[in-house]
Structure 1
Amino acid sequence: MKMTSRLPLSCCVLGTLLLGAFSQAAQADEKIALLTSWYAQAEQGGYYQALATGIYKRYGLDVSIQSGGPQVNGMQLLLAKRADVIIGYDLQLLDAVQRGFPAKAIAAPFQFDPQGLLTHASVTSLDGLKGKTILVSSSGQSTWWPWLKAQYHLTDAQARPYTFNIQPFVADDNVAQQAYVSSEVFQAQKAGVKSNFFLFSEHGYPPYGGILIARPDLIASRKEALAKFVRASMEGWVSYLQNPAPGNALIKKDNPKMTDDLLAWGVSQIKQHHLIDGGDAATQGWGTMTDARWQKTRNFMVNAGLLKADTDWKQAYTTDIVQGLHVEP
C-alpha cells in the first residue's frame, strides 16, 4: 500500500526554512592554511596563541598551522596553493618578485629579524671577526652574510657551512656562527659556553623578520578574510606575550622536542629586543610595514648584488591590510 504524508504543507515549508537557517548557522568558518618557516617554537607563538585561545574562531576563521623546516620550500608550497599564507623573509620575497613569482607581503609581525651572530666571549664586537671561522647556512649566504661581509670587511674564505648543529661552535674557540636570539644563544648557555650575541638589526641590518606572505590572487579575492587573519594574529601576539601558556601547549604538541625553558627564553628575548613592538610598530600598531623600511632592504640588496636595480620592488608588498590596523596592548 502506498503511504502518503499526513504533514500539512505549512509544516513542510517551516521545516525547509529551519533547515536552511540551521545550515547557514552551521557553515564552517573561513579556512586559512598557514605555513610557518620552521618547527614550532616561540617565534610562532602568536599564531598558536590565536588558535589556542579562540581568537581566530572569534573572527570567523578556521586556521590550520603547518610547521616548516630546513627541507620545506614555503614559497613553492604557496605558489602551488598548498598554503594560503606563509611566514617568510623580505630578502627571499624580493628575490622571488625579481624572478616573476606572484607573492606579496601583507604584514610584518616581526619588526626586526631575530638573526644574529653567536661568538665566544673573546669577541667583544663585530669588528673582532677577522681571522675567525664563521658558520653560515645556505640561506644565510644570500641574506645576512653579504651584509656582514661588506660591513666588517670579511672574506668568503672565512665562511663554512652551518648545519644547525651547535657542537662545532662549542668545540672551537675560533668559530662564530649564525644564531637566532631565541634558540642557539640558549643552547650555548646550556652547554656552558661563555659567549656573546650580536643581533644584526641592532647594527644596521634592515630587513623585517617573519613577514606574512600571500598570493596576489588570494589578496584580491579574499582580502577581508586576510585582514581578519592579520588582525587576529597580532591580537594573538599581544595575548602570547602576556601569558604564553595556551600557545606553548600547542607548540609542544606540534614539536615534542620543544622544552618549557627554551620557550620561556624565546619569549623573554622577543620582549627584550622589542622584535614585535619596536620600530614603526611602537607608533603604528603591531604588524605594520612602511615603504621606507622596504626601500632600505631593497637598497641593501641592490648594493650587495642580490637584486637587480630595475626590479619593481614595490610589487613585493602591500600596506593596504595593515594600514590603520593599530593592534597593540
Structure 2
Amino acid sequence: MAYCSRLVGFGGYLPEKIVTNQELSERIDTSDEWIRERTGIRQRHIVSGEETCASMAAEAARQAITFAGLSVDDIDAVIVATCTPDQVFPTTAAKVQQILGIKKGFAFDVSSACAGFVFGLSVADNFIRNGQAKNVILIGSEVYSRILDWSDRRTCVLFGDGAGAVVLSAEEVVNTTDQKGILGVYLHTDGHYSDLLYVDGTPSIAEDHCLIRMHGQEVFRHAVTKLSEVVEEALSVHNLKHEDVDWLVPHQANLRIIAGMGKKLHLPEDRVIITVDRHANTSAASVPLALNEAVRDGRIQKGDLIVIEALGGGLSWGSSLIRL
C-alpha cells in the first residue's frame, strides 16, 4: 500500500508587539523609506512578556490541529523547524508535546535556518510515505529578535518573530497520475558558502555574542539563482510547466527576490503570496505563516498546485510541489 502526505491543517501565531520601521528609525540610522525600498518590509512582530519559541509553536500547532478536525490524540509526531530554541535541550518539539498534552509518538527539532520548514517537510513526508506516522504536525517557529545586533541596520530591520504550522496526514495513493498532497521535495546545501550567513557564536559559550551576520548582496545573488534552479528542478521532475502552477508561496525574505521568482514562473502578482511587508523575515516560520494566511482567507483552494521555496544559512535551499 502506498501513501502520500496531504496538508490538511494550517495555523499561525504572531507576537502581539509590532515594531514599525518608524520606531526602528528612532533607534538606529535608518528610515521607513530606506527599509521599504530595499526589502518591502513595513513592520515586524517581536516577542514580549511570556511569549517563547515553544509557546508560539504550540499555539500555531493547536490551530492547525483544530483546522484539520483532529485532536492531539491523533498526532503521531511533532517536528519543529527552528534555529532559535528556548533551550539547547530538551527540543522545542518536546516542549510543544508537553504544552499540548500529546501523549504518543515522537518529537524532534530540525535546524536549517530559513530553509528549515522545507527540510522539515521532506522529513515529515518520508515518515508518512514509509508508514511510520499517520498524522504529523510540522511547525516553523523562530525568535530572531534574540540573535539580532540591534545596532546593525543591515540585519536588524530584516527579521521578525513568529510561528506557522501544518498538519500532514497519510492518504492512500489510488491513482498516481492524479496524486494529491506533496508531490516532491527537493533539497540542496553547499557549505562552501557558510560564511555568507551565520550566527557568530553558540549559546553554550558565555563569551560569544551569538548574533546573526550576513553578507547581504552575496546572499541576494545566490538566492535568486539557486531558488530559480530548485523550482525548475521540481517542475522538471514532474513534467510540469510554469502555467501549471496556481500559487507561489515563497520564503518571505525580501520583496525583490519574491517578485523576481514570480516573474520567472510567469505568475501574476496576485498569484504570489506576500507577507514580508507585515511579518518581515520570520525564517523557518515564513512559509507556513504565508500558507496559513492564504488558505484561511480563501485564496488557496483545494486542488490548487502550490510551489514553495526557501533559502537560508548553510547555504541550504529547497522547494516543494504540493497539490492541495
Report TM bin, short chain.
under 0.3
TM-score computed with the length of structure 1 as normaliser: 0.23
- TM-score, with length taken from structure 2: 0.23
Higher strand share: 2
Structure number with greater Rg is: 1
User: Greater share of helix residues, 1 or 2?
Assistant: 1
Of structures 1 and 2, the one with the larger relative CO (CA 8 A, separation 6+) is 1
